[in-house]
Amino acid sequence: MQTADAHFVEAHGAKIPALGLGTWELSGHSCSRIVEQALRLGYRHIDTAQIYDNEREVGEGIRNSHIRRDQLFVTTKVWTTHFAPNDLVRSAKESLVKLRLSEVDLLLLHWPNAHVPLAETLGALAQARSLGLTRHIGVSNFTVALLAEAVAVCPAPLVCNQVEYHPFLDQQKVLAACALYGMALVAYSPIARGNAKKSEVLTRIGVAHGKTAAQVCLRWLIQQNVAAIPRSSRLERLAQNIDVFDFELSDAEMQEIFTLGSPKGRLTTMPTAPVWD
């Protein structure tokens, strides 16, 4: 099995490992154990967030793996209630305390927040970078229009937009916008929360390559120069998800998978108004 060590998506000086581990809904000892096992299997990209309430456990898993820090790419995300400038920097420092890291590799705004001017929030995010709290900064769940605004007002380069992306959700406009601004796209829910295995097309293509439908999803994303962060709590799935660098989808297979996409394929909805308060 090949590991993800040599496969990156690059943007504005950031080298984001093309295959990472998402940790949404992982908690407690199970979370730290999964992170440790993933790193031992060859993962080098770990994604967490303040709202996941597992940064402490993610940090524990990183330490238990004994993988050198300079070999890892760690992302966390600032929650929307911490977007006021002073609050953002303070909350980023709190995340580092929980992770027991001196800096993260990537700090993202988790969702847009219309109640705080974007220029102020991005100014604070850039300040977190200049203070050495993070090596790179970016956004998550930003639309094409918001990306344009963010790039225009941010005083430092934004390296990525992390969004839901899988074969059932058409994200070509967002992907094109990221390319236009030299940004990477990082895909969460890349296996559509397990729905990939229900697809006859993905299953058939997988059989042709000796792979699962989930592995086909991940390979499809990687061949678009997209980084993917599937979440799993099962060791065998961790091993399968990283085993996607020894085959290649044909142009015809890629196009057939694209036909599965729809603007209505979204699984994640924007938090409701009370979240902003």
- Over residues 156-172, the pLDDT tens digits come to 999 999 999 999 999 99
Please give the sequence-ordered ranges of beta strands (E in DSSP) within 28-178, or none if there are none.
45-47, 73-78, 104-109, 134-140, 158-164
Q: What is the pLDDT of residue 263?
A: 84
Q: Taking CA 139 as the corner, what is the angle to CA 202 and CA 36, rounded to the nearest 5 degrees?
A: 65
With 90 as the cut, is the pLDDT of residue 99 above it? Answer: yes
Asked if residue 55 lies in contact with residue 27, where contact means CB atoms within 8 angstroms, the answer is no
Q: What is the pLDDT of residue 218?
A: 98
The per-residue pLDDT for range 170-216, each reduced to its tens digit, is 999 999 999 999 999 999 999 999 899 999 999 999 999 999 999 99
Tell me which of 43, 52, 165, 188 is the catalytic residue. 52
Asked if residue 133 lies in contact with residue 107, where contact means CB atoms within 8 angstroms, the answer is yes
Please give the sequence-ordered ranges of beta strands (E in DSSP) within 6-68, or none if there are none.
8-11, 14-17, 21-22, 45-47
Question: Is 52 in the active site?
Answer: yes
Query: Tokens 């993933």 belong to which residue?
Result: 38
End-to-end CA distance of the chain: 47
Query: What gap in Å lies between CA 87 and CA 40, rounded to an integer?
Result: 35
Q: Taking CA 20 as the corner, what is the angle to CA 144 and CA 243, rounded to the nearest 5 degrees?
A: 120
13: alpha, beta or left, given left = phi > 0 and alpha = psi -120 to 50? Answer: left
33: alpha, beta or left, given left = phi > 0 and alpha = psi -120 to 50? Answer: alpha
What are φ and ψ of residue 210, in 5° steps? 70, 35
Query: What gap in Å lies between CA 49 and CA 36, rounded to an integer?
Result: 17
With 60 as the cut, is the pLDDT of residue 96 above it? Answer: yes
Q: What is the pLDDT of residue 273?
A: 43
Question: Which pLDDT band, with edges at 50, 70 and 90, does 108 fall under?
Answer: very high
222: alpha, beta or left, given left = phi > 0 and alpha = psi -120 to 50? Answer: alpha
Q: Which pTM value belongs to this model?
A: 0.94
Scored b (16 or more CB within 10 A) or e, 239-272 reads ebbbbbbeeebeeebeebbeebbeeebbeeeeee
Asked if residue 167 lies in contact with residue 202, where contact means CB atoms within 8 angstroms, the answer is yes
What are the beta bridge partners of residue 107? 76, 137
Q: What is the pLDDT of residue 5?
A: 56
